Amino acid sequence: MTLHPLLAQLLMPNRRAVIFALKGVISMALALAVSMYLQLDRPYWALVSAVFLQIRPESGLVIEKALCQIFGSAVGGGVGIVILALFMPYPVLALGCLILWIGLNAAASSMVHNTNFIYAFAMSGMTAGLVVILVMATPSGANSQAVFDVAQSRISEITVGALCAMLVSQLLWPITVKDGLRNHSRNVINKTLEYLSLELDPASTHKQRHQHADEILETLVVLNDDSSAVAYEGPEGPGRSRAAHLLCNKVLSLLAVIQIMGRFPRNHPELVSPAFSELLSDMRAHFIKIAEADSYDGSYQQAQALRRALLAHKAAYVNEAAIVIRLTHTAVELVADLVMVLRAYNALENRDQTLLKASRLKTHQDPLIGAVNGFRTALVFMIGSAVWLYTGSQAAIMLMIMPVVFSVMFARFSLVLLTFILRRLLLGVVVAIPVALFFGLGLLSRSSGDFEMLILVLAGPYFIGLLALADRPTLPYGLGFCIPFTLIVQPSNSMTFSMEYATSNALGLFVGISILYWVFKLITPLDGPFMQRRLLKATARDLISIDYKRRPENWFNGRMGERLLRLSNYDRGSGSPNRYMTDLGFTGLNIGHMSIRLRRRIKNHRSVVVDEKLGEWQQVLADTYLMSARGDMNSEFRVVSKQLLAAIQAAKSSDTQIANIEGMFERMALTFERTAETVSDANSPTPAGKQAVASAPTS
């Protein structure tokens, strides 16, 4: 009999989970002790602050989140002061400004992917809300001094919780981001090598290749997000951060190039000569050897052996077609990128000053997504504000504040995952209510009121909640338990043991998160074909802009990383068997790389005519990409490619270079034609057409 994941986590926790929970209890006890010693107004907010910092216990991530939390709280507190200074006599206008500020923070959080940065926006909105609402809740004592005191208290409480959690993370059983980066890097390199060999394996399936590509993209985004936090882990941290950025960037280059090598023999076997077929087999054999090597030195030597083998194949060619010559050059470029990936992995442990800097993967920033997320979060707060204005209940404050934080934190998740998280969060709240009433009103009301007794009574529930928080599948249960438990009990120097007050707070939290759940169900996260088309249009715009960037490959990879993951997630969510939208994303990636490589080859032969034709070709390239994504052919691409080739030839380029460029243009034209045919068949209403596409080797 298999236990439910939550029961398994609570009844049979592993050593890591026990240490995690113990560190969490210590950091929360320390935060409460310092807050009570400093006579802060509401010490339980320090506990809430400490709980949020437990979600990722690695030292660098805790430091980064603490800094984000403090900065976001300070900004939010300042905005709260400004709102009250301008609109204290006009509560409706003050609430209107607060709704706007919270909506702006939610929208801005959609423009970043790093969880810690998202959390900074959540804290900015929450702190501003606390300052404004707590002052307005007692209008008789509202003055400039009261406003400043409330803002100072909220910022101080959150800062104390963050600093205590950071201190415990550093001193007790520290876990480093560096170790996680090494594990993620090793995993992504192994997956990439498996993917490289799969792309060159004639027996591999479309599903297998996509499964590996999805896993690579997911790990790359995690690796990229964590790379910012490793910079806080000692003097070697910034170097490791740069190495992680380079690794992510070069893995994307590998994905772009290997797609070219894999699609060509699958889709155009008639153009594959025996010599080129032997080269592909040799490459696959070397990829397997590199993956099987048990050390960096062994992998590096195998990569160099592959490079020498490719050069030998190239030298032995006789009367090969232009496209084959071009693809052989592409194979050599692929090995160069693979060597850089291996060196970047080694630099995560050993300093390598010769590594070039690379751009980190950028978050795809879509203003439409930001607007929807901002409106949804503002609506949640607006509903809470209406309840508060109508009832004047203190419980409505809980209904207004915590759902806003969760709305910002969970906005980037898909509807399926979001529903899963919120349901478990609600279950955690349901369990927290009776436990908080029993411990807060039952045991604590009978205790001596000493700090030691307070910690002794609260440590047990917190330990159980933190055990759930320690594992990703059960994390929503733990979060849904720990936060409401704290806000219902409200441990402080002068606790009130009122059943009515505690019950109303519990009800406010439950109703607030329920409202959040239904608002997300009604205003669902943007998804589906419409957003996929916007991603493809953004890729086309980047194709046009490539010529204006100083380091175009790094820039383009940085822009495409998360974009490819989003396309992949949309495709998987739709249940489409052919995954052609993901294939279109990878097509955009590899034609972007081809465009960049073209510029490298002609950089010494640029003239006014070449530049004019290149600009025209680049625009047609982007247009053709979008047309093929709709299932349409664009015959103009071959025409402008011939014109550009003639201009380059007139600039006295060598015959070898001309053959390479001609092969590049032919390969792109074949890709666009095949893509248009695949998309056209995928959109065909006939069952036969759909079945044909489902089984077609499109990537």
Predicted confidence at residue 463, as pLDDT, reads 93
Say yes or no: 475 and 567 in one domain: no
The pLDDT tens digits of the residues spanning 3-62 come to: 788 888 888 889 999 999 999 999 999 999 999 999 888 898 999 888 888 888 888 888
Is there a single domain that holds both residue 533 and residue 510? no
- Local confidence band at 699 (pLDDT 50, 70, 90 cut-offs): very low
pLDDT band, residue 448 (cuts 50/70/90) = low
Given a cut of 50, is residue 584 above it in pLDDT?
yes
SS3 321: coil
| 358 assigned to some structural domain | no
Residue 682 within a domain = yes
Residues 6+ apart with CB under 8 A from 594: 260, 664, 667, 668
Same domain, 662 and 686: yes
Over the stretch 627-656, which tens digit does the pLDDT of each residue have? Answer: 998 888 888 999 999 998 888 888 766 667
Residue pLDDT, tens place only, 341-363: 888 888 887 766 666 667 777 88
Note whether 182 and 168 are same-domain residues.
Answer: no
What average pLDDT does the segment 380-408 reach?
85
Question: In this structure, is residue 357 part of a structural domain?
Answer: no
**Residue 30 included in any domain:** yes
Predicted local confidence at residue 686, as pLDDT:
54
pTM value surpassing 0.85: no
Mean pLDDT of 515-536: 84
pLDDT (tens digit, 9 = 90+) per residue, 53-102?
Answer: 888 888 888 898 899 999 999 999 999 999 998 888 888 899 999 999 99
- Whether the per-residue pLDDT at 511 is higher than 50: the answer is yes
pLDDT value at 536 more than 80: yes
In a domain, 353, yes or no: no
Pairwise pLDDT comparison (330 vs 672), residue with the higher score: 672
Distance separating alpha carbons of residues 694 and 233, to the nearest angstrom: 48
> Read out DSSP for 404-419?
HHHHHHHTTS-HHHHH
Same domain, 287 and 242: yes
Report pLDDT for 420.
86
| Domain containing residue 688 | 529-694
What is the residue-averaged pLDDT of the chain?
84
The Cα–Cα gap between 314 and 276 comes to 9
Could you tell me the pLDDT band of residue 378, with boundaries at 50, 70 and 90? very high
Q: What is the pLDDT of residue 362?
A: 81
Q: Is residue 150 in a domain?
A: yes
Residue 252 has pLDDT above 80, yes or no: yes
Q: Looking up tokens 């499964």, which residue turns up?
A: 211
Q: Are residues 556 and 687 in the same domain?
A: yes
Binned at pLDDT 50, 70 and 90, residue 457 comes out as confident
- Whether 699 maps to a domain, the answer reads no
Residue 121 has pLDDT above 90, yes or no: yes
SS (H, E, C) 133-178: HHHHCCHHHCCHHHHHHHHHHHHHHHHHHHHHHHHHHHHCCCCCHH
Shared domain check, 480 and 408: yes
Q: How many CB atoms lie within 10 A of CB 207?
A: 10
Question: Is the model's pLDDT at 403 over the cut of 50?
Answer: yes
| Residue 697, pLDDT score | 37
Per-residue burial over 439-469, b = 16 or more CB atoms within 10 Å of its CB, e = otherwise = bbbeebeeeeeeeeebbebbbebbebbbbbb
Q: pLDDT, tens digit, for every residue of 192-216?
A: 888 888 888 888 887 888 888 888 9
Mean pLDDT of 138-163: 83
When divided into structural domains, the chain yields a total of 3
Residues 438 and 387 in one domain: yes
Per-residue pLDDT band at 575 (split at 50, 70, 90): low
